[in-house]
A and B are shown apart, each in its own frame.
Chain A
C-alpha cells in the first residue's frame, strides 16, 4: 500500500517534470539564443581586436578592458547616465505624483487634463527626438520664437555643451512624467476607500489626508517607481542618439550611444563589446545596490 503510494507519487513527479520541461523549452531556447549566448559572446569578443567584417581577429586579452578603464569618454558617459538617472527620479516622480494627486482630487471633472497629459507617452522616442530637434531649432524654433517675443535673441539649447544635457533631460521628463502619473493614479485607487472615509469622519481635511495618510501608503509605489526610472535611465539610447548623437563633444554621450558608435560607426567591434560589457556590469551593480538599500530599509520598518 505504502510502496504503491510512493511509486504513484514518483510517477506523478516525473510526469510533472516532463510537462514542465516541455512548457519551458521555447522560452529557454529563445532566451539562450538571444540573451544568454549574446552576453557571453560579447564578453568573448571584448578580448579581441576586430572590425566586425574581416575574418582577421586578433586576440588581445584584457587590452580593451584596460583601455576602457582609462577611457575618460566612457566615464563621462557613465556620469551623464547618472545625472540623467538622478534628475529623472527627482523630477519625474514628484511631478507625476503631483499630477496624479490633482486628478485624484478632481475625479471625473478633470479627464481632459488626464488625456492631454498622457499624449507624450504615446509617441516613440525617435519621433520625440525629431520633433524636439525641430521645435528647439536655433532659427525659427519654438523657444527662439518665444525668446524673441520677449525681446531676447535666438537660443541654441542643443548646440551648447552647457545646456544640451539639461535640455535632453527636460525632454525625457516631458516624455515619461505621464507614465508616473498614471502609475500613481493606479496606486491611489489601490488605497481602500474605507481609509479615506475613516479619515474624513475623523475630521481630516483633504490636505491632511494626502500628507499624513495617502503619502505614507504610497511609499512602496514610489520605491518601485524609482527602481524603474533608474534602470531605464541607465539604458537610455533612442532619444539622445537621434537628437544629439552624444554631442556637442561628449556633453550628452551615454554608455549606450558610446557603445553604438564604437561598434557600428567606427567598427571597433572588439572595443564596442568591452563598452557593452562595462555597461552591463555597471548597470547590474547599481541595480543590486539600490535594491539592497530599498529592501534593507523595508526590513527596518
Chain B
C-alpha cells in the first residue's frame, strides 16, 4: 500500500518512529508456487518473524513506549523474550480495565499461556482476577461463541479445580470446562456435517483460526488438540479453494463495505500472505492476525492445501454447502442450507450462492473477481444486488428490537445498511444461478420495499466499458473480458467507497453504480479470459451471438445459451435448468469438486491436489496423507 508522501514530514515532526511492515510496504510477492518444501517453510518462518518483530517494535502504536503496549505487542515481546518486566507491569495496568467479551478474552488467554513461565506472578494473577471480576459477554454470533468458549476452555484448564465464586460465570473450573468443551465439540460436529454458518468470511477467519490455534497448541486434551488442528486445516483448505492469488472472492456469509469492493482489503489476505505467500499482508496484519503469530511456527500448512491455493494453471469448479445463520423468527427453518458455486480460473473467479436472505446485513451473494498483479487499492470485481433494508429481516436474525437497530447497526461497523446505494447484503428478492462463468441474478422485489431498485457495481479499474446497442455492457478487468446484461432500464450514480466497515465517511475513488429502478429485474454476467479471443471485439461478437430471451412479467425469466454452450432456463421462484435438466440442490454434497470433497453428515473432508491427498476424518480424529 502506498503511504501518502505528504504524511511523512508530519509524522517525523510528531516524533513517531515508523515500525517497518516490510511485506505490506514492499512490492507484491510472486504468485509462482514455491515447490521446494524447505524454502517454502523458511519463507513462512520469515513471515512469522516479520510479524513478531513488527509487533514487538511498537506495532500500530509505532512506539516502544511501554505505556502504549497492547496485548498483541506484549505477546510478541514474550515470544521474543524482550522486556518481560515491562510486559508484566503493562499487563497489570491493562487488567485494571478489562474488556467484556470474546474479543478481550482470547487476547488475555494468549498472554496467560505465553506468560505462564515468563511473566511475573502478579501479572498472571491480574489476568486471573479480571476473569473473576468482570462479566464476559458471550455475544450473539458463531464467531463470538467460538472465541468465547475456546477462551473459557483454556482458562478453565489453566486454572483447574477452582471454585465457582472465583469465576465471572459463577461456575467452577470444571463446570466452565464442561460447558466450553460441549460447545466446541458440537460446533465442530455441525460444521463437519452440515457446514459453517459464517462461511467464507472476509474478515472473521481470524476469529476462528486464532482460537483454534490456541486449542491446537495449549489444550491438555489430545483429542481437543487434534480436533482444533484438523479444523484449522479445514478452514485453510476452504480459503485455498476460494481465493485467487491470495485474494478471497465471493460469496461470503459476512463481509464489509471495504472488503467487498477492494477485495484484497480483508483478513483473509493476511492469512493468504502468511500461509501461501502469494499476496501482500494487510496493514498491521489485520490487527487480530498478530495473535496467530505467537503460535504460527507450530502450524505446518499441508502441502496439498498450499498447492490448491497457489496453482491456478487449470480451471476448477467446487459446489459446496454451508448454512444460514440462525433465523429466530419468520422462517420455516432455523438454519436453512446454502448452496455455493465457485469457479476458479487463472485470470478470474466466479462465485455465488443461490440468493435469498443469508445474513441480513453483511452477506455477499455473487461476483466475478479478476486477478490483479498487485491487488492493493484495486476494485477487481463486478456484481449486482438488491439493497435490502428491512425490519423483518433484522427480526429474523436478531433478538434486539429492529426499529432502532436499523439505524443502530450503522454505528456498529455496518455503516451502509440503510443506504439505497449500498453494495453489500443479501435479499429475499434475489435468486441466483451460476453455470461456470455465467451468472444469472433475478429479482422480484415486493412492492412497498424500502429500496425498490437493484445496484450493479462497475469498478474504477474496468477498462473499455462499452454500453452496446445490443443491451450488453462490455468491459475488461485485468485479463478478464466481462459482459453485463441489465434486464431493465438503468442510470448511473457515482460509487462512493467505504474504506472499511467502521468508516462512515465515504470516498470518491472512481467507479460507478448501475441503478435499475424496477421491481422485476435481472442481471446476466458472462466472463471469459482475454486468452480465449483474438481481441475485445471478438468477445463482444461472441456475446451478441448468444441465444438470449428474457421477460420480466409476471416474474423475471431468462433462457440463454452461455458462452460455454450450456442452455440455461431460469425463472424467478423455480429451479433452474441446465440443458433441460433441473438442478437438484438437495443432492449436493457438503463439498464436491476436484479439491474438496465431503458428504453431508460425513464428518470427513478429503483434500486433493493432483496426486496429493489429505483426509481429515473427525469420526476417528485422524489425518491421513497419501500420494496417489
Partners in one complex: no
